[in-house]
């Protein structure tokens, strides 16, 4: 089932990983919010307890991410993602069999511990190993474009499965997807990273930083990615409550929020068409600049559908680009050697704070003025942008 070393067509790893990212995010992340009403009623637990368990699982995922990155560098993305698919199937089977709230938390933790083995950061490393650093940027953009359809596919699919069969059966079906679709697809990826044999045949367009600048650049990237990730996580989870705290109706908040998805897809298409002309750090500047403006608009502009819609579009544009630069910026700055380990270290910090950020924003909205809470989130996004501007990169 394995392909010859580095003989895969350029489009194949993008298609493989695009499909497995749709399934991975759809089953391990997006499906849970649709499952909650059915499983809480069946298990006799509160919605708050279920989401607290999910937050704890995301925190565990962040703590494990650096380990997953080192495994991918050592063993190769093909092996780790294949084992990850098998373990994801096991975790989803476990979720289908839980009988109490605490067993649910344990199964969720297992599922989210598996997530770093199969989701974006692992897929970014797999792309770099499959096509080499010179072609990785465009391939990563294409892959994230496909992966962006996970919620579009799995929110309605999960609801249909629950209504037709039940939430336990839905989780069993999702386990089968990982075992019989994702696992075979991951086994078609190359066995080894390019640097574990011969040098990539085509050098990257942008020269990596010299080794003596790596430590400073990693610290600045960690500050930037973690700060921005906290804002994205908090606002994605608390979008509707935040708008309602400002005085906007729930229906208007939901309608404005619907613009985020198309904005994410549209900006990824633009990045795929034109982004190769610029250093990935420039794309990161644009992403965080949009986030800063979006948060300032939400905190300072008069409340209304138009201002909320403008925020949603800018936030979606920023989020769409951020998913790309998480992979392309570290690859451009540091090169392919140790790429997955760097992604894992950055993801660990980002995901750990991201798991706590929604709770922090919810508490701030309850305790202080909503505009002050959103201004604080805006200040964090500005700090992330300022850290990025200190990066010593060569255009």
Q: What single-letter DSSP state applies at residue 258? A: T
The residues near 164 (Cβ < 8 Å, ≥ 6 apart) are none
Q: pLDDT under 50 in the chain at which residues?
A: 1-9, 193-194, 196-199
Which pLDDT score, from 0 to 100, does residue 201 have?
A: 55
CA-CA-CA-CA dihedral for 263, 266, 268, 269, to nearest 10: 180
Which pLDDT score, from 0 to 100, does residue 166 have?
A: 95
Query: Which domains occur in the chain, in start order?
Result: 11-195 (1.20.1250.20), 211-389 (1.20.1250.20)
Residue 93 tokens, joined? 């089977």
Find out whether 267 and 321 touch, Cβ atoms under 8 Å.
Answer: yes
Which pLDDT score, from 0 to 100, does residue 11 have?
A: 78
Find out whether 17 and 123 touch, Cβ atoms under 8 Å.
Answer: yes
Q: Is 83 exposed, middle or buried (0-12, 13-18, 19+ CB in 10 A)?
A: middle
**Tens digit of pLDDT for each residue in 300-312?**
888 888 888 999 8
- CA–CA–CA angle 333, 337, 342 (5° rounding): 65
Find out whether 296 and 378 touch, Cβ atoms under 8 Å.
Answer: yes
Q: Is 156 exposed, middle or buried (0-12, 13-18, 19+ CB in 10 A)?
A: exposed
Taking alpha carbons only, the member of 144, 203, 190 closest to residue 326 is 144
**Tens digit of pLDDT for each residue in 103-142?**
999 999 999 999 999 999 999 999 988 888 888 888 898 8
C-alpha of 30 from chain center: 11
Which pLDDT score, from 0 to 100, does residue 8 have?
A: 45
**Tens digit of pLDDT for each residue in 158-189?**
989 999 999 999 999 999 999 999 999 999 99
Taking alpha carbons only, the member of 278, 252, 237, 7 closest to residue 137 is 278
Which pLDDT score, from 0 to 100, does residue 131 have?
A: 84
The pTM (predicted TM-score) of the whole model is 0.85
Find out whether 158 and 95 touch, Cβ atoms under 8 Å.
Answer: no
Taking alpha carbons only, the member of 316, 317, 320, 324 closest to residue 281 is 324
Which pLDDT score, from 0 to 100, does residue 395 have?
A: 63
C-alpha 391/C-alpha 217 separation (Å) is 6
Residue 338 tokens, joined? 């140790």
């Amino acid at each position: 089932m394995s392909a010859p070393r580095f003989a895969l067509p350029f489009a194949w790893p993008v298609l493989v990983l695009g499909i497995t990212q749709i399934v991975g995010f759809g089953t391990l992340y997006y499906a849970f919010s649709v499952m909650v009403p059915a499983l809480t009623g069946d298990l006799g637990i509160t919605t708050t307890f279920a989401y607290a368990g999910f937050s704890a699982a995301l925190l565990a995922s962040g703590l494990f991410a650096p380990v997953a990155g080192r495994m991918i560098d050592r063993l190769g993305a093909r092996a780790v993602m294949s084992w990850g698919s098998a373990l994801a199937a096991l975790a989803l089977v476990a979720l289908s069999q839980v009988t109490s709230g605490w067993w649910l938390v344990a199964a969720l933790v297992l599922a989210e511990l598996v997530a770093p083995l199969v989701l974006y950061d692992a897929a970014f490393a797999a792309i770099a190993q499959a096509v080499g650093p010179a072609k990785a940027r465009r391939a990563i953009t294409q892959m994230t474009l496909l992966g962006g359809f996970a919620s579009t596919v799995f929110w309605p699919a999960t609801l249909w499965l629950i209504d037709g069969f039940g939430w336990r059966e839905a989780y069993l079906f999702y386990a089968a997807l990982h075992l019989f679709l994702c696992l075979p697809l991951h086994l078609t990826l190359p066995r080894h990273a390019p640097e574990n044999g011969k040098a990539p045949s085509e050098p990257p367009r942008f020269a990596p930083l010299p080794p003596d600048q790596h430590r400073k650049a990693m610290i600045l990237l960690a500050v930037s990615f973690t700060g921005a990730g906290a804002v994205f996580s908090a606002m994605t989870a608390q979008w509707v409550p935040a708008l309602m705290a400002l005085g906007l109706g729930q229906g208007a908040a939901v309608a404005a929020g619907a613009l985020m998805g198309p904005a994410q897809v549209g900006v990824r298409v633009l990045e795929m068409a034109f982004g190769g002309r610029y250093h990935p750090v420039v794309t990161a500047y644009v992403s965080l600049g949009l986030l800063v403006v979006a948060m300032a608009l939400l905190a300072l502009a008069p409340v209304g559908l138009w201002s909320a819609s403008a925020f949603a579009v800018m936030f979606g544009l920023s989020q769409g680009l951020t998913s790309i630069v998480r992979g392309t910026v570290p690859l451009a700055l540091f090169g392919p050697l140790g790429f997955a380990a760097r992604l894992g270290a950055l993801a660990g910090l980002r995901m750990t704070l991201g798991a706590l950020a929604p709770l922090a924003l919810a508490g701030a909205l309850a305790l202080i003025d909503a505009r002050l809470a959103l201004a604080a989130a805006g200040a964090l996004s500005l700090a992330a942008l300022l850290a990025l501007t200190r990066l010593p990169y060569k255009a």
